[in-house]
């Protein structure tokens, strides 16, 4: 009867974990890598946290910017191409604007269609003046614009629009006015008189102040009744455009052919993607490039794991020789040192994910503290359009960063772990 063959221990057995843990927590004079391990762990943690924060801010900026675009602007704008009117004057005026709006609203996927009159004027009050964009619309149509009807900040009563004008918070701040005050609108396209063209000047009461959270809207936009805008801009016979709102604005390309057919041959369509698509595509490209660039930070931090393992293998040559003579296979030796390196990467990655998520969650509080310490604003809405730092955590982004960091940590430990497994026990013990 043959003696029983000793069973081979399974990979990553308990004794392999025990040896790896003993090497990691050993003091440097005992041949451990505790100091280098801490450096590597902190480096991986900071790299992962930075990558998560940057990705969250860039995703948040894109989503917030898109939400503000879709919440305060038309998803598709329909206007007419220039054509000579009965007097031979080139005109883009839409005379049948109500009929056009009705046809567009009947297209499947359209939630609302409304005629608008739009013009650039100067607004003044209290000795101050500013250039603004005036949009003439009906109250029922304006109430369907989410960020205007339900703004981040507001004052007054939107239902009183027929009695005056609604202005953005930036306009109100620049002019020093509020609800109940009077503003003056001055249009350079005025009335023809024997003395030349006189600017058209009209006074209006401010009945509503809204803030949508986008600087370029809050600072420049004024709403007034459609009939009042037609009279002020001398367009009683029509409207400038028809704005169309969709139930799925992200798929605007699919519905544009039906809108074009309903609008007629003279119509020209301009979607929100035509207006802002290039900017949003640039944001997506920048986010991908930043992911690649900041991944190099994690790679540099992970290189400390290699240097630590190389030193550990060199210091533990005698131990490797003894373990081999005791019966440990090359695979076991390789797994021991693989565990030494990968544990640093795993712990650093998990701490980095926790730190990054906490930073994103409390980013507005952190912004407030930094601004308090700096004594001023660190986020200029005039440049970035949004009033605060946006940040959106997406599980897919966190998983991608985690997988990248863990993959690098595992991959980067293979070379020193294989070198340890290849060490000849006879050479390791020759001078001991």
Integer angstrom CA distances of residue 419 from 306, 319, 343, 414: 12, 14, 18, 9
The answer to whether residues 238 and 80 touch, using CB atoms and an 8 Å cutoff, is no
Q: Six-digit token pair at 428?
A: 């390791």
What span, in angstroms and rounded, lies between the C-alpha atoms of 262 and 298? 54
Q: How far apart are alpha carbons 401 and 390 in whole angstroms? A: 20
DSSP 3-state assignment of 129? strand
Residues 362, 363, 365, 370: is their CA dihedral positive or negative?
A: positive
CA distances from 239 to 167, 231, 367 (A): 21, 11, 44
Tell me which residue has tokens 């992200």: 250
pLDDT, one tens digit per residue, over 241-279 is 999 999 888 888 889 999 999 988 888 898 888 887 777
CA angle (10 as vertex; 9, 14 as ends), nearest 5: 80
Residues pairing with 162 in the sheet: none
> Quick one: residue 193, left, alpha or beta (phi over 0 = left, psi -120 to 50 = alpha)?
beta
Query: Distance between CA atoms of 164 and 32, rounded to whole angstroms?
Result: 78
The chain-wide mean pLDDT, for the chain, equals: 80
pLDDT tens-digit series, residues 317-374: 666 666 666 666 766 777 777 787 788 888 889 999 999 999 988 888 887 787 788 7
Look up tokens 């301009």; give the residue. 270
Query: Which is higher by pLDDT, 211 or 2?
Result: 211
Token representation of residue 197: 């063209």
> What are 362-398's pLDDT values in tens digits?
888 887 787 788 776 666 555 455 666 778 888 888 9
Which of the two residues, 417 and 268, has the higher pLDDT score?
268
Residue 265: how many other CB atoms lie within 10 Å: 7
Q: How far apart are CA 363 and CA 365, in angstroms?
A: 5
Please tell me what DSSP assigns to residue 160.
G
Question: In b/e form, how buried is each residue of 179-215, taking b as 16+ CB within 10 angstroms?
Answer: bebebebebeeeeeeeeeeeebeeebebbbbbbbbbb
Confidence band, pLDDT 50/70/90 cuts, at residue 147: confident
pLDDT at res. 165: 93
């Amino acid at each position: 009867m043959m003696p029983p063959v000793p069973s081979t221990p399974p990979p990553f057995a308990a004794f392999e974990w025990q040896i790896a843990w003993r090497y990691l927590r050993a003091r440097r004079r005992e041949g451990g890598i505790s100091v280098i391990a801490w450096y590597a762990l902190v480096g991986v943690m900071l790299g992962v946290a930075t990558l998560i924060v940057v990705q969250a801010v860039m995703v948040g900026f894109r989503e917030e910017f898109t939400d503000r675009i879709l919440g305060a602007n038309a998803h598709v704008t329909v206007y007419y191409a220039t054509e000579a009117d009965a007097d031979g004057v080139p005109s883009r005026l839409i005379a049948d604007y109500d009929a056009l709006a009705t046809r567009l609203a009947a297209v499947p996927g359209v939630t609302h269609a409304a005629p608008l009159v739009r013009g650039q004027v100067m607004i003044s009050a209290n000795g101050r003046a500013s250039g603004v964009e005036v949009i003439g619309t009906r109250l029922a149509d304006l109430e369907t614009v989410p960020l205007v009807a339900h703004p981040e900040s507001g004052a007054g009563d939107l239902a009183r629009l027929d009695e005056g004008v609604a202005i953005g918070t930036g306009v109100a701040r620049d002019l020093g006015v509020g609800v109940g005050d009077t503003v003056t609108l001055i249009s350079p396209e005025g009335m023809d008189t024997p003395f030349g063209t006189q600017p058209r000047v009209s006074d209006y009461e401010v009945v509503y102040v809204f803030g949508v959270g986008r600087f370029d809207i809050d600072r420049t936009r004024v709403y007034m009744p459609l009939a009042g805008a037609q009279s002020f801009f001398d367009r009683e016979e029509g409207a400038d455009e028809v704005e169309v709102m969709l139930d799925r604005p992200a798929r605007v390309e699919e519905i544009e052919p039906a809108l074009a057919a309903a609008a007629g041959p003279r119509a020209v369509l301009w979607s929100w993607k035509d207006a802002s698509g290039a900017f949003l595509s640039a944001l997506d490209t920048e986010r991908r490039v930043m992911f690649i660039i900041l991944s190099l930070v994690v790679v540099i931090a992970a290189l400390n794991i290699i240097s630590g393992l190389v030193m550990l293998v060199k210091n533990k040559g005698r131990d490797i020789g003894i373990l081999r003579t005791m019966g440990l296979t090359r695979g076991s030796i390789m797994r021991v040192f693989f565990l030494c390196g990968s544990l640093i990467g795993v712990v650093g990655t998990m701490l980095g994910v926790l730190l990054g998520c906490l930073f994103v969650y409390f980013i507005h509080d952190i912004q407030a503290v930094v601004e308090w310490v700096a004594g001023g604003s660190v986020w200029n809405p005039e440049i970035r359009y949004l009033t605060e730092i946006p940040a959106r955590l997406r599980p897919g982004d966190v998983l991608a960063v985690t997988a990248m960091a863990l993959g690098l940590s595992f991959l980067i430990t293979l070379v020193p772990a294989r070198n340890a497994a290849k060490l000849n026990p006879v050479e390791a013990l020759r001078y001991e």
